[in-house]
Structure 1
Amino acid sequence: MKKLIVGSWTAGSFNVDKFAKSLLLFRNAPRSGAASPAQMVLNRPVRDALPAHRRSFAPEWQQKTDVLEKRARRAKEVQIEHYNKTAHSLPPLSIGDHVVIQHPISKCWSTPAVVVEIGPHRDYLLKTPAGRLFRRNRRMLRKRVPVMPGTKSTSTPTPPAPIPVKPETTSTTKSMPPAPEA
């Protein structure tokens, strides 16, 4: 808009006609991904100083653009519907919950922690057993059940007892075939 005003000054005076033409062109220019402001208000393009064919102002072009807009709207709805099929929010954590933190580089879930504070934007302040404090987003946290000392854990299976294997009896020395008689 400032460029339109600056461009309307000629020889130290403000040219109102030049400003009106440039404002008309500005309002008739389509914005990114949408119709021009004049088309939004009047449902058709406005005649301006730029040359255009008469048929571009005909109502059938407006009907065709309406059909295209409906198709684009429907395609966007299908895209949103497809995305939302599997997207879901993670349940919020509460203070005192035991969690595992995902390492940002290796992506391993290795660091245990306890939620100390809940932030305003799905972020949590966590304290590890070593005493370090981390602030992580909910996506980087997984809830875990803490293992109490003295209770048997079902999450870590005990290795099975070794099964004795009976060694097979094989000949360790190979006999040479008899030499041919000459």
Structure 2
Amino acid sequence: TFNEEKFAKSILLFRNAPRSGEASPAQFIFNRPVRDCLPAHRRSFAPEWQKAADVLEKRARRSKELQIAHYNKHTRPLASFIIGNHVLIQHPISKLWCTPGVIVEVGHHRDYLIKTPAGRIFRRNRRFLRPRVPVFPATTPATTPATTPVQPGVIQPPQPEPTEPPVRENPAPPIQENAVPPVLRRSTRKKQPRRHFFPAEWTQ
């Protein structure tokens, strides 16, 4: 059966409970908490305690604002990307910028679809993307020999003919496949016979 007394007590407790970061509904209406079934000291309903609670609440709000201002002191807005931009994706565990990719789609909430060289598609927020400058292989243009422009009426001196590199007078001998290695040089010093010492001789 429905118990009206329990329901009334629960409603009273609900109206006397403070909301997240704010006062309770009873404090909004009566400017103080009301008595309920929970035990409380009689001085907890005094006006000076309510004023002290308001001061502490203002201090906490001010401290939170200072924390937010200090946290956002050195922040800056990130530039948005367009389709075709080359980016690097941050790894969620190692926090390294190691996965390259290309933007293929731009979302509505600062999210992007990135296609990697392996063909995989990732959806990442702007804070996990970094612009990347692609490096293409350098192409060397064909070099042509430098020629002196011919001026009319001026006799050009004869150009020196290219000379071949000088030939070495003592070229290195060719390596033979079945060559016999040279005999190693041995020492002519006579070897002395080994002398073994036993523990009995050490004490003499």
Q: Same fold (TM over 0.5)?
A: yes
- After the TM superposition, which residues 77-96 of structure 1 pair with which residues of structure 2 at under 5 Å, given as runs? 77-96=65-84
Query: Which residue identity lines up with residue 50 of structure 2 in the other structure?
Result: Q
Map of 2:50 onto structure 1: 62
1:142–1:151 CA distance, 2 compared to 1 (3 A):
farther
Q: Would you identify which runs of 4 or more consecutive aligned residues in structure 1 move more than 6 Å?
A: none
- Alpha-carbon RMSD: 2.8
Classify 1:42/1:100 alpha carbon distance in 2 versus 1 (closer, same or farther; 3 Å). Answer: same
Please give the per-residue CA displacement for 1:127-179, whole angstroms capped at 9, x wherever unaligned: 33454433333223211223355479xxxxxxxxxxxxxxxxxxxxxxxxxxx
In structure 2, what is the equivalent of residue 136 of structure 1? 124
Higher helix share: 1
In structure 1, what is the equivalent of residue 32 of structure 2? Answer: 44
- Per the normalisation by structure 1, the TM-score is 0.61
Between the two proteins, the alignment pairs up a number of residues equal to 140
Alignment partner, residue 111 of structure 2: 123
How far apart, CA to CA, are the structure 2 residues paired with 1:52 and 1:105? 49
Question: 1:112 corresponds to which residue?
Answer: 100
Structure 1 residue ranges without an equivalent (≥5): 1-11, 153-182
- Identical counterparts, % of pairs: 73
Change (3 A) 1:68 1:107: closer
Q: TM-score, normalised by structure 2?
A: 0.56
Q: Describe the shift of the 1:88–1:49 C-alpha distance in structure 2 as closer, same or farther (beyond 3 A).
A: same
Q: Distance in 2 between matches of 1:26 and 1:129?
A: 57
Q: Which has the larger radius of gyration?
A: 2
CA 125–42 in structure 1, closer or farther in 2 if over 3 Å, else same? same
